[in-house]
Structure 1
């Protein structure tokens, strides 16, 4: 009987891990199923660009996994039962269950409204493609391309900064404001913060620092200091949250719902479950939790691949790097910031700003898409058989 591997989620982390497992494990012994709610691969790191009006490629997952032997199940995950080793799913045709021997949990994260009244009803986020497309439609009206309208971006994390600057550059007829709870670019070095301020000034982005939002209405944002900002489109980037499914299923999680894993990305409470990407609470090589980011998705994904392949084939498990060394921020299409960080996660004094970081970031995005869209690249002629599986010579003798 084949070993059943089920991967939940086909974002950067899930698609990458599924493709690599298909490359390295023999289909004679393993069966890999990927469960994803939508049929397309979503370039989440570029959703702010999609919202602003750029055309972003969205490859069909059926094409991405063609030739790999991976089974694609288009459905929404509704529950995980690690005791029974079952995943419950639902789609337009109804519900169902999938059994697994090894589960890779890669459901990622989504925008969190933090309980702010009106944020869920009236604000847009750029963590999911449907919401990004709705924001794009709003920016296109009224008056064609939203001329004369106002946009308020709440949250000055990296996502908020990228969204505000991209919208301002792509749609110069709009008035764009960015609300920061503290100092703008607080995670950056002094030099990088100055570069960011110059970029906002150049693009006409109004920055409101040390400002908290108390409520979001259909046409305005209400601040704690009593200010009311007119807003035809409010973009909410003030934090992210993970799905409650892992906690509801009994997996050991942190207070925010991330699955607690060991150094190999294995759940500390259920050893046949691995968590990667934003869903995982993983401790990096610096002794600190890895932040939610695409970089963390890559590092945790690579470690999970080594652990799963090693344990199933009886090979030694290699420890891959678990690091977070820089923040790469796009400031529109022709400007950016590359900010390195130290082992404490603090920004180093030196940074790079301008066109070169923008080009490097664009290259990273293209490479991430290519790597995900070509999971068969480098497919070995001989794949690893599972530990204890009969070897080829014995199979031929018995045939």
Structure 2
């Protein structure tokens, strides 16, 4: 690089499963100056937060250690504003970062206003602070109600029931717990919930959360010392407020290369993106799908910086891994296009082993994010 040449500056917002690998992979295979912005200095293993909520200790994963000598500049702080016209990002009260290319990877959080009283009287599970708060409250309660019968709700309920044998755990779900699974896998899940003594109230809609109770659509008031909301996810409003084209859920609308349809200098990855394909208008939330967008975005940006045309984003679903405490699990294999269940599934200890490999592979990917191209120093 000659002194007259200017480095492209890429700013990545969010160091989750998609953003972290995108930043490190791009820095290793391009000459761009890459900055990674995150609200805290550590990586949060969101797929293990149910373990922390049950009082288990999780490994400390400083971002500085995971980034190593990749050349990525880590900026710790909360993003408060994106100025798309000026290509500036404001971090905290007084820091401003300029970018040529922006990678939006701020992910998702648990819904906090889905029903009245949720924010005041329920606990969500979006970060380590939520997990610590739930662990503290669970240690001194007798009855806990998990609202939501999806994978997150199942993992939270079974983890708490196993870690606290004297605790009365209840699940409330709109449909049937495990209704998305194959018939055999669903029956296995039912047996495990029975084994833990978890009460399931199915085909019920929560319309309000009160102090010490959950109110259902039919007027039934279900008593609860602690209520955990696992009813769904949403994304931060920052993308919408900045002026990026978003869908009705607030996820950034992109083309087949994950580039914003309204601002081509912006890419979106992870839960923040609504990328269309054979799977529909958008991918499911979670690292099992969103995590694949980070490496792809890095490769796409590197290709364009080198004057090459990138290939369209491709993805297929493979499995859905669910913890059932520390000693059992369930892995449902699915069809690649629509995530509908196949007949094959794993259960018991082999499923626990399988999921642990999948979960740990994310950390391996952070340390080894892809092809390392030699970098010429300026």
Same-fold call, TM cutoff 0.5: yes
Q: How does 1:55-204 map to 2 (within 5 A)?
A: 55-90=57-92, 94-141=93-140, 146=141, 149-204=142-197
1:330 touches 1:361 (CA, 8 Å); kept in 2? yes
- SS state of the match for residue 53, structure 1? coil
Deviation at 1:285, TM superposition (A): 4.2
| 1:15 maps to 2:9 | no
1:245 corresponds to: 238
CA RMSD of the aligned region, Å? Answer: 1.8
- SS state of the match for residue 208, structure 2? strand
Deviation at 1:242, TM superposition (A): 0.4
| 1:293 maps to 2:286 | yes
**TM-score normalised by the chain length of structure 1:** 0.89
Deviation at 1:370, TM superposition (A): 3.0
Deviation at 1:89, TM superposition (A): 1.6
1:43 touches 1:369 (CA, 8 Å); kept in 2? no
The whole-number CA distance in structure 2 between the counterparts of 1:225 and 1:69 is 57
Instruction: Choose which of 11, 16, 32 in structure 2 pairs with 1:6.
Output: 11
Deviation string, structure 1 residues 203-259 (Cα, Å, up to 9, x no partner): 111110011112112222122223222222111110100011111111110011000
* Aligned residue pair count: 372
- SS state of the match for residue 124, structure 1? coil
1:326 corresponds to: 319
2:29 touches 2:371 (CA, 8 Å); kept in 1? no
Structure 1 unmatched runs, 5+ = 386-391
1:33 touches 1:70 (CA, 8 Å); kept in 2? yes
| 1:254 maps to 2:247 | yes
2:33 corresponds to: 31
1:221 corresponds to: 214
The whole-number CA distance in structure 2 between the counterparts of 1:46 and 1:109 is 16
Deviation string, structure 1 residues 278-330 (Cα, Å, up to 9, x no partner): 00001234455211110222221122112101000113424453122321111
The whole-number CA distance in structure 2 between the counterparts of 1:136 and 1:24 is 42
2:18 touches 2:292 (CA, 8 Å); kept in 1? no
Deviation at 1:375, TM superposition (A): 5.0
2:21 touches 2:369 (CA, 8 Å); kept in 1? no
Deviation string, structure 1 residues 332-351 (Cα, Å, up to 9, x no partner): 11212111222333222332
- SS state of the match for residue 45, structure 1? helix
